[in-house]
Amino acid sequence: MLVVVLAAGGFLGWQVWGTDARARTRAGQEVASMRANWAAVPSTVGASTPGAPIGVISIPKLGLAWPVVVGTDEDALQRGVGWYRTTAWPGDVGNTAMAGLRVTHGSPFRGLLDLVEGDEVVVETARATLRYEVVVPASQLTVDKDAGWVLDPVPGHPGAPPHQPLLTLTTAQDLVATGERSVAIATLASRTDR
Pseudo-torsion of CA 123, 124, 126, 130, nearest 10°? 70
Tally of domains in the chain: 1
- Cα separation, 69 vs 51, in Å, equals 5
Q: What is the dihedral of CA 183, 26, 61, 185, to 10 degrees?
A: -20
Owning domain of residue 136: 2-193
State the CATH number of the domain containing residue 143. 2.40.260.10
**Span 26-62, pLDDT tens digits:** 777 777 777 777 765 545 555 568 888 999 999 999 9
* Distance between CA atoms of residues 32 and 2, nearest Å: 44
Per-residue pLDDT of 168-177, as tens digits, reads 999 988 777 7
**Predicted model pTM:** 0.80
